[in-house]
Amino acid sequence: MPIPPRPAVPRAAPARTPGAVTGYTVILATEPAAAREFFTELKQIVRDSAGGVLISMSRPVAWHGGPILGVHPRRENDPPQLLGPGIWLGPLRAPADRAALCAWLRAGPAASPPPERLRRHRLTPRRAPTMARHTTN
């Protein structure tokens, strides 16, 4: 007589809070050659995070100084939904500023505001100019 197969034991999913903060998006704008080691470190931090995303772009306009970053916490199961306005920081010229940013990202940016050292680098983005709409009669 053949032995009947064992029933599959369902695995319990880990308990999660709906809408919980699970990661962040970091946008890095810099000259690639100017911050190669910093970019490598950011890649590793984001890779080790839960749900982190790193977007890298060349600087869109000429500016003097170091990297400029945008940091935006994200919610679980809602990738397009970002929590509030992003935080823009820069330029981060000093190695100590970059180290403070990395420590803050490792701790989770949704858990606390940026450290005091980074607050002086906070940028306020300007709205893009709107184009006048023309209609024909």
pLDDT of 14 over the 50 cut: no
Produce one character per residue of 5-40: b if its CB has 16 or more CB atoms within 10 Å, e if not. Answer: eeeeeeeeeeeeeeeebbbbbbbbbbeeeebeebbe
Tens of pLDDT, residues 73-132? 776 655 555 556 788 898 898 999 999 999 999 988 877 888 999 999 998 877 766 766
| pLDDT value at residue 17 | 53
Q: What is the mean pLDDT of the chain?
A: 76
Higher pLDDT, 54 or 9: 54
* Distance between first and last Cα of the chain: 88
Domain ranges of the chain: 21-123
| pLDDT value at residue 95 | 92
- Which option is the CATH number for 21-123: 1.10.10, 1.10.238, 1.10.760, 3.40.30? 3.40.30
| pLDDT value at residue 4 | 64
Which amino acid makes up residue 90?
G
Q: How far apart, in whole angstroms, are the C-alpha atoms of residue 24 and residue 76?
A: 10
Side-chain-side CA neighbours of residue 11 (13 Å)? 2
| pLDDT value at residue 113 | 84
Q: Kindly report the CA angle at 94 between 93 and 97, in degrees rounded to 5?
A: 100
Pair 21, 110: CB distance under 8 Å: yes
| pLDDT value at residue 11 | 42
Predicted TM-score of the model (pTM): 0.70
